[in-house]
């Protein structure tokens, strides 16, 4: 463990996985490719199968496996950091005892599900002088990092408007926000905006770094996925009583059997006790108690399928974000307008354009294309957040070693602005009013 805050170069950073879910295991996998930089020395998860899986993967003894974060915190500190990938509503309750026990942390977003617990975590990290790095992975992608570098260099002057759009694909919408864990606040304790667009709100705040958001307004609802919108002859389960399953765009068979690797970590978690389940076992699961076998119009989802918000910053500048769920193609777009030019691009396209006014005869504006597709890490949001996932972990390791932070590094204080925008937007939408944002620190 670190004693002086700087880890000797010859020693890897040691980490404990808390919440052995998809995200935490992905971040921890950095230890497999860079064992000289990161080593997994413990796991805490209430699921014995997941504890066993992690133990086998990283050679852990039973003494290094725990059911809860509280158990880890009750032992003398035996690692440098924690990788916290618990569910959204568990982030703060699991983090507080671990911060008090001496651990710095890599914490999945959103790091809180409401303002009160957000400030509690911020104040606790400050009280114990702990580093808490939030997993805003899009900051680390070549695409967004390059855009932020351009903004920081002043190439488009002072940014006075930010426009972001996220199109959530039909299959992602179905698996996570209709059939899945984020379909109801009672399950995840997070809204659609905070669960899906926390990245985008952070990017908006990052592009206006140093200027606090002041107020927000928002509108949205669930327009599509309601029982009254179900097609005629739709059943309650795709593979049981649906007469239109063969032509339905949201058929569970088409989404999860015909595409066996798409979202498999979520869809087949109820079968993780069966090594390599067969197609027949998967179909039986979808026919019986697997929530991913339900009709998308009859899942009782309680989150929005589209939401728009407008943000005002303390300097009078503005920003907008639009989230639209159920689109054909997943995509994120950004358009920054500054006093001397603008930057515009679509994340999945792997390039962005810098424009400047050009009043010369025969001209209107000039354009420069910054193409990042030649970088092998730009492979889209589905396959590792466009190269951001592993860059985030590498940056986390460097920061924990005491090396200089990168332009992308986001500690908990940096993440507050984006979270406040999200909490405020959801309140503004529910109450049909403009909400002023209050910073406690």
pLDDT for 261 = 87
Provide the mean pLDDT of the chain. 93
Q: What percent of the chain has pLDDT over 90?
A: 85
- Is the per-residue pLDDT at 2 higher than 60? no
DSSP assignment of 159-218, as one string?
Answer: EEEEEEEEEEEHHHIIIIIISSTTS-HHHHSS-HHHHHHHHHHHHHHHHTTTS-EEEEEE
- Is the per-residue pLDDT at 410 higher than 90? no
- Is the per-residue pLDDT at 357 higher than 50? yes
pLDDT for 4 = 40
pTM above 0.85, yes or no: yes
CATH superfamily for domain 13-108: NAD(P)-binding Rossmann-like Domain (3.40.50.720)
- Is the per-residue pLDDT at 202 higher than 80? yes
pLDDT for 440 = 83
If one compares 142 and 387, the residue with the highest pLDDT of the two is 142
The CATH label, of 3.40.50.300, 3.20.20.70, 1.10.10.10, 3.30.360.10, for the domain at 138-225+301-384+411-436 is 3.30.360.10
- Is the per-residue pLDDT at 378 higher than 60? no
Q: How far apart are alpha carbons 326 and 305 in whole angstroms?
A: 7
Strand arrangement, sheet containing 13-18? 65-66, 38-44, 13-18, 81-84, 104-107, 132-134
In tens, the pLDDT along 411-423 reads: 888 899 999 999 9
In tens, the pLDDT along 101-140 reads: 999 999 999 999 999 999 999 999 999 999 999 999 999 9
């Amino acid at each position: 463990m670190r004693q002086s805050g700087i880890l000797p170069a010859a020693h890897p950073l040691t980490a404990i996985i808390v919440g052995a879910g998809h995200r935490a295991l992905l971040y921890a996998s950095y230890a497999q490719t860079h064992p000289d930089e990161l080593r997994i020395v413990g796991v805490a998860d209430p699921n014995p199968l997941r504890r066993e899986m992690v133990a086998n993967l990283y050679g852990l003894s039973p003494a290094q496996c725990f059911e809860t974060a509280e158990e880890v915190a009750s032992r003398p500190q035996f690692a440098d950091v924690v990788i916290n990938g618990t569910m959204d509503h568990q982030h703060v309750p699991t983090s507080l005892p671990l911060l008090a026990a001496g651990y710095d942390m890599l914490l999945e977003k959103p790091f809180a599900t409401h303002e009160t617990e957000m400030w509690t975590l911020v104040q606790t990290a400050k009280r114990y002088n702990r580093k808490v790095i939030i997993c805003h992975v899009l900051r680390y992608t070549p695409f967004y990092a390059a855009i932020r570098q351009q903004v920081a260099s002043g190439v488009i002057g002072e940014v006075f408007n930010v426009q972001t759009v996220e199109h959530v694909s039909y299959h992602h919408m179905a698996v996570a926000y209709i059939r899945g864990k984020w379909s109801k606040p009672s399950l995840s304790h997070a809204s659609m905006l905070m669960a899906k667009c926390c990245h985008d709100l952070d990017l908006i705040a990052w592009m206006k770094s140093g200027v606090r958001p002041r107020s927000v307004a928002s509108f949205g609802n669930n327009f599509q996925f309601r029982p009254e919108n179900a097609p005629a002859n739709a059943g309650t389960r795709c593979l049981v009583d649906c007469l239109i399953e063969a032509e339905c765009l949201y058929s569970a068979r088409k989404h999860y059997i015909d595409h066996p690797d798409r979202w498999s970590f979520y869809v087949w978690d109820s079968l993780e006790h069966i090594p390599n389940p067969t197609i027949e076992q998967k179909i039986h699961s979808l026919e019986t108690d697997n929530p991913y076998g339900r009709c998308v119009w009859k899942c009782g989802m309680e989150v929005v399928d589209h939401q728009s918000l407008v943000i005002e910053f303390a300097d009078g500048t503005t920003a907008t974000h639009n989230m639209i769920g159920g689109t054909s193609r997943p995509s994120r777009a950004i358009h920054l307008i500054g006093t001397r030019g603008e930057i515009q691009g679509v994340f999945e396209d792997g390039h962005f354009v810098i424009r400047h006014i050009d009043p010369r005869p025969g001209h209107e504006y000039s354009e420069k294309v910054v193409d990042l597709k030649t970088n092998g890490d730009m492979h889209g949001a589905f396959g590792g957040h466009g190269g951001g996932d592993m860059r985030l972990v590498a940056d986390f390791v460097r920061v924990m070693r005491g090396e200089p932070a990168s332009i992308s590094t986001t500690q908990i204080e940096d993440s507050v602005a984006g979270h406040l925008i999200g909490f405020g937007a959801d309140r503004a939408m529910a109450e049909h009013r403009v909400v002023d944002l209050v910073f406690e620190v």
